[in-house]
A and B are shown apart, each in its own frame.
Chain A
Amino acid sequence: MSALLRLDDLHRSYGSTVAVDGLSLEVASGEVLGLLGPNGAGKSTTIGMIAGLLRPDRGAVVIDGRGGPEDPEIRRLLGLAPQSLALYDELTARENLKLFAELYDLRGSGGRERVQELLVAVGLDTRADDRVAAFSGGMKRRLNLAVALLHRPRLLLLDEPTVGVDPQSRSSIIELIRTIAGGGTTVVYSTHYMEEAQRICDRVAIVDHGKLLDIDTVDSLIDRHGGKPILRTIKGGEETRLRTDDPVRELTALFAAGGLESVRIDRPDLEAVFLALTGRTLRDV
């Protein structure tokens, strides 16, 4: 697949603080790429540079092989759900969508239909004419996402789209993103929740301190950095941890010896990958 997005050696600093430090990567058309890293890793700055909200100190953003986001025509290809809720609280959900639809030239019956379609998609059709100020955090997040989808962007930038929402809304948002991705939309998904990255992303880029530490599929990252599975057993009240390439064979042998009270196999995950790459867990930072 051809690259819809290419980042070439991006640098961006805020005073003496380096936010993004030589980030280069490509995102193929139709791919879902996760930017995984702790808060302050440079994910939002990277999204900001892709969207054209921030100018890189060095390096380039190339979209669809044509140019950067400073071109309004290129920006038409982008949809952004920013981390902060970019909504007008005193307008209704429908009015918010209608306003942004107009800015993207979606007017008349076509615009109205698209607005209604998205209200249904994010489960807000019954609250469409209520003011956003009266919405819960989860509802606002869903509407925030809906606004980004109005003009059917080819490249969807999602900056921590599930921050601060209840599990039900989070699940609904993730399902919606999977549906969108299934329709061929390219997604760049920034998060510090590894479960989300594992669930949604085709590939994950691990970033920390503005640097790209590695980028690959989840399985490949785990294979490369996650280490062996850990077999945890309790026998005679004592816990034993065994790192092994073949936990099933080891387990069979332990069962044969008898006396096992409890058994658990911990497969390595992105948390382990992050730990291996940075020496810290995502939860530490």
Chain B
Amino acid sequence: MSSLRAVRALAVKDLRLLLRDRGALFFTLGFPLLMGLAFGWIFGGGGSKSRSDLDIAVFDRDGSAPSRAFIDELGGEGSGIATAPATDLDACVAAVRTREAIACVVLEEGFGRASDAFFAGGPMRLGVHIDPSRGAEGGLLTGKLTALSYQRMQSLFSGESEALKRARMVIDQGDAPPALKSALSDLYTSIERLNEGDEGQDEKQDEKQDEKQDEKQADDGQTDDDSEPESGGFQPVVITTSEVRAERSGPPNAFAVSFPQGIIWGLMSCVMSFSASLVRERTQGTMVRLMIAPLAPAAILAAKSLACFLTCILLQVLMIAFAVVVFDLTVSAPFEMAVAMICSALAFVGVTVLIAGLSRSEEGADGLGRSVLLLLALFGGGTIPIFVMPPAMAAAASISPFKWASVAIEGALWRGFSLAELALPLGILLAFGVGGFIVGVLAMRRRGAG
């Protein structure tokens, strides 16, 4: 029999045994999820704030009554936006940089005047500073700003159609110069269209924005969602967006921290389950039967390691997928995440073999797991996130493979680490894996069981 086929058959057996052991299955897949949810809820303030709110910093450079009203409306009940006032532009942009807010909205000088007299002082001007990685939220925000601007203008003109008709008549019949007549005629046409409804206008506005964005890709990363009104057209609002790179110092939400923590607990359960099962093979005699089969001894260990590896990978994929789907997390570095998961799984396969090698009995493996692994998990970020640990504690945590798994997974999940930045945690994880495997195998051989 080919070794690969034997390894596969034995690994399938181990996965089947795990599936039938409800306790082990719960602690490997269910408990980590509960931990992720519980810690996320606790870290996130007990769910006091709706997770769907967009946190927006607002700097009111205009300081007028209409601008204040606009801000109130922007963060109003049911808007899905939570606004926080900024004292100046720097503070507003800093909020984005530090991830306190996903965007900074600036109401430029003249905003109030423009909103009260659309045709006297030009369009209302808004600035939006946003992290480019928050494209979806940015689109949502500019859409909301545009809609609010049009609503405001529409409220000024509602019920005025008759008055407009009369004004057009007066201009048409008067002695005004032809250029002025033409400009006023365009203006009235625009207002009438506005009065016909927002939707149609919004679509045209969007089309116009798209065309202009294509034409005007700003070299400095700054783009105008609307441009200055050209001859024959009218733009009530001009939104200027600029990119602000958010610093990678804080998680986007509490679940970005709690789910990697949940993974730590799941990895611990994997280690305990598989080290106990490896010891059980010895104590219950099945190892004897496997050793007499025409297999290389390495195939038996390889199969157990493969099953453990696959379970660790499955746990991590399920946890991250859950966090992404349910808590709107975005994996900032997907490839690096895949590498981090693989290295974490390899590390804990090594730890599994080490514990199995050092344990004489199932109870021994269980005891070693509970004492040593629990301690390593607690200090390795299982309860207190590494980045909020005091420096001395964080340094002491370096002996724990859980810390490095946590650093690697968080790094790929929300810190946006590159492979170069992940090299240290990944290297240490691989060292734990290889070292654990070698020592574990030597211990088994010494005991005559490997």
Contact = CB atoms under 8 A, between A and B. Distances in A.
Nearest to A159: B288
A54 B9 contact: no
A85 B294 contact: no
B51 interface: no
B17 A103 contact: no
A84 interface: yes
B288 A84 contact: yes
A101 to B, nearest CB: 9
B423 interface: no
B49 interface: no
Interface in B281-297: 284-286, 288-296
A53 B291 contact: yes
B21 interface: yes
A267 to B, nearest CB: 38
Size bracket, chain B contacts:
20 to 34
B294 A51 contact: no
A197 to B, nearest CB: 23
B5 interface: yes
Interface stretch (A75-83, A220-228, A270-278): A75-83
Contacts of A102: 1, 5-6, 9
A51 B284 contact: no
A52 to B, nearest CB: 7
A91 B16 contact: yes
B117 to A, nearest CB: 79
A54 B16 CA distance: 30
A80 B289 contact: yes
A103 B288 contact: no
A84 B284 contact: yes
A84 B296 CA distance: 22
Which of A80, A83, A131 counts the most chain B CB atoms within 10 A?
A80
Given A54-B448, A72-B295, A90-B17, A103 B285 contact: no
Size bracket, chain A contacts:
20 to 34
A69 B20 CA distance: 35
Contact of A88 (B17, B288, B294, B448): B17
Given A99-B9, A102-B9, A104-B1, A84 B295 contact: no
Given A80-B288, A86-B284, A88-B13, A100 B293 contact: yes
A102 B295 CA distance: 11
A200 interface: no
Contacts of B293: 75, 100, 103-104
Given A102-B9, A103-B6, A86 B289 contact: yes
Interface string A63-75: 0000001001101
Contacts of B17: 88, 90-91
A251 interface: no
Contacts, number: 74
Contacts of B5: 102
Interface in B429-448: 448
A238 interface: no
B284 A91 contact: no
B13 A99 contact: yes
Given A72-B294, A90-B20, A85 B284 contact: yes
A53 B296 CA distance: 13
A280 to B, nearest CB: 29
Contacts of A91: 13, 16-17, 20
A53 B288 contact: yes
A52 B294 contact: no
Contact of A103 (B16, B20, B284, B290): B290
Given A91-B13, A102-B9, A104-B1, A82 B448 contact: no
23 contacts: A51-B288, A52-B291, A53-B292, A72-B295, A72-B296, A73-B294, A75-B293, A78-B292, A80-B289, A82-B288, A82-B289, A83-B285, A85-B284, A87-B284, A90-B20, A100-B289, A102-B1, A102-B5, A102-B6, A102-B9, A103-B290, A104-B293, A147-B289
Interface of B: 1, 5-6, 9-10, 13, 16-17, 20-21, 284-286, 288-296, 448
Given A69-B292, A80-B292, A85-B285, 11 more contacts: A53-B288, A80-B288, A80-B289, A84-B284, A86-B284, A86-B286, A91-B16, A102-B9, A103-B9, A103-B290, A104-B294
Interface of A: 51-54, 69, 72-73, 75-76, 78, 80, 82-91, 95, 99-100, 102-105, 131, 147
